[in-house]
Structure 1
Amino acid sequence: MTEGTAPPWAVDAERCLERVREICLSFPGAAEKVSHGAPTFYTRKVFAVFGGSLKGDHYAPVARNALLFLPDASEREALVQEDAYFIPAYFGPAGWLGLSFHRLGGADRVDWVEVAELVEMSYRLTASASLVRELEGRGGSSSGR
């Protein structure tokens, strides 16, 4: 690898972040900031984070290239049974899950419609009622964007 060239895993993580950013910022009132070193998407409350860690392993690739989101309680148990999902450090005790793009095989193997649906679920659970109404006024579904 030549000096100044990013390793392949970093390039893939950047591609995943760009797709996550595009999805998250399409929601009404959404903004982005860096919090604790991670791109964080929020309205008044955080609804998505790019990258996280596992309890005991803060640099695990499984969690570094991942979407952290708050699932609906009725879907959480089913999601956590799938290999691509994990319980992230810090956010996990509050009910959040992570979707590892690393475990899926990278940006080209991710179902981005599913990612948009997960982000929308998290957004609906954290955004104000007025922002959710605005989303519904747009057609209400991230997969239709």
Structure 2
Amino acid sequence: MDPLTRIRAICLALPESSERLSHGCPNFFVRSKTAFTMYMEDHHREPGATIWCPAPEGVQAELVDAEPERFFVPPYVGHRGWIGVRLEVDPDWAEITEIIHDAYRKVAPKRLAAQLD
């Protein structure tokens, strides 16, 4: 299965999530308003497929420091704690699912985020 198909399945399974193009790339939103996952291919000097997601405080630095070949600070949103994930470097789909769920929890209204627990 290609990475976008897997990412789409993970994201669209979340409550009140939707997909639309933003800046020419598939983006996933809560209630069509707030982005929680951006999917990119060959963008911003990153070869291959990547996702960008908001992360809980401190997680970005922890992941980038531990595995810089898999994780990076994305341009434009990295200063707000977002994490970039290279999907072409040995993807652990359980971990990627958790990263997306954490991103959703970070931006979703409390009532929707609670549905994941």
TM-score bracket relative to the smaller structure: 0.7 to 0.9
1:84 to partner: Cα distance: 0.4
Could you tell me how far apart the structure 2 residues matched to 1:50 and 1:91 are?
14
Question: Is the counterpart of residue 72 in structure 1 residue 53 in structure 2?
Answer: no
CA RMSD of aligned residues (A): 1.6
1:33 to partner: Cα distance: 0.5
Higher helix share: 1
Three-state SS of the structure 1 residue aligned to 2:16 is coil
Could you tell me how far apart the structure 2 residues matched to 1:28 and 1:46 are?
13
1:16 to partner: Cα distance: 0.3
Three-state SS of the structure 1 residue aligned to 2:58 is helix
Higher strand share: 2
The residue identity in structure 2 corresponding to 1:31 is S
Equivalent residue for 1:121, pick from 82, 102, 107: 102
Could you tell me how far apart the structure 1 residues matched to 2:75 and 2:58 are?
21
1:40 to partner: Cα distance: 0.3
Deviations 1:72-111 (A, max 9, x none): 1132211011120011111212211110013x1xxxx421
Identical counterparts, % of pairs: 30
Report the equivalent of 1:99.
Answer: 85
1:35 to partner: Cα distance: 0.2
The residue identity in structure 2 corresponding to 1:51 is M
Question: Is the counterpart of residue 29 in structure 1 residue 27 in structure 2?
Answer: no
Q: What are structure 1's unaligned runs of at least 5 residues? A: 1-13, 141-145
TM-score by length of 2: 0.87
The residue identity in structure 1 corresponding to 2:37 is A
The residue identity in structure 2 corresponding to 1:32 is E
Bigger radius of gyration? 1
TM-score by length of 1: 0.71
1:50 to partner: Cα distance: 0.5
- Aligned residue pairs total 112
Three-state SS of the structure 1 residue aligned to 2:115 is helix
Q: What are structure 2's unaligned runs of at least 5 residues? A: none
The residue identity in structure 1 corresponding to 2:109 is S
CA change 1:94–1:79 in 2 (3 A) is same
Q: Is the 8 A contact 2:36 2:100 kept in 1?
A: yes
Three-state SS of the structure 1 residue aligned to 2:2 is helix
